[in-house]
Amino acid sequence: MGDFGVVADVSSIIVDRLNQALEVVEPGQAVAQLNDLSENPQFSQPTLTVFLYEIAEDPTSRNRPPVRSLPPDPPTTRKPPMALLLRYLITPWAGNQITQHQMIGCALQTFYDDAIIDGEELRGSLAATTDVLQVTLTPLTLDQKSWVWYAIQKPYRLSLNYEVRVVNLDSQDVSAIRAVRSRTINGTPLP
């Protein structure tokens, strides 16, 4: 389960996976990097920007039961982790359209071939956990994509929208469980 750094950990995993894949397009030239697109991007080399534009709670994971600790730890109960959906905008920036299209194709192929991130691929607060991240291309209409670009006040560009599900953010709300030491039964005898 992830601590407060889980969002940053997932973002760096996405960027690293894209950097490995981009070696095919432009060996040593094309890179992926986190970028909030707040300024007009000016890159000296072909770049695939990864912009985390939305974080939402996964509605299918609500109302999960509390998590109990296992022995030998002291008995505690904790609120279930908050299940997050992270939505990314992946945009190519290069001097020519062919390179941009190759970079987009590379990203598509990478997350299509290996859409599940688990085990040794997880790092940071997710390392050595049983968490599984699913990376899915999000089908947005042109209108919805335009609204994303409008929100960041940039002209529309060819881009991909990916959703990473389920990122578990641990709760810090932990309560000790007290052992039952005695009990009293009150009632009337049965006839």
pLDDT at residue 69, rounded to an integer:
72
Flag whether pLDDT at 14 surpasses 90: yes
Select, from the ranges 47-51, 165-169, 171-175, the one with the highest average predicted confidence (pLDDT): 47-51
d(CA 164, CA 115): 9
Strand partners, 160: 90
Q: Using one digit for the tens of pLDDT, what is the confidence trace for 150-169?
A: 888 888 888 999 999 887 77
Q: Where are the alpha helices (DSSP H) in the chain?
A: 6-22, 97-113, 142-151
Residue 72, preceding peptide bond in cis (omega within 30° of 0): yes
Mean pLDDT of 100-119: 93
* pLDDT for position 74: 75
The answer to whether the CB of 137 falls within 8 A of the CB of 111 is: yes
Considering the domain 6-174, what is its CATH architecture? 2-Layer Sandwich (3.30)
pTM, to two decimals = 0.81
**Which whole-number Å values give the CA distances from 53 to 24, 110, 144, 149, 163, in the listed order?**
27, 21, 13, 10, 10
Residue 132 and residue 165 in contact, taking contact as beta carbons nearer than 8 Å: no
Residues in the chain: 191
Q: Is the pLDDT of residue 147 over 70?
A: yes
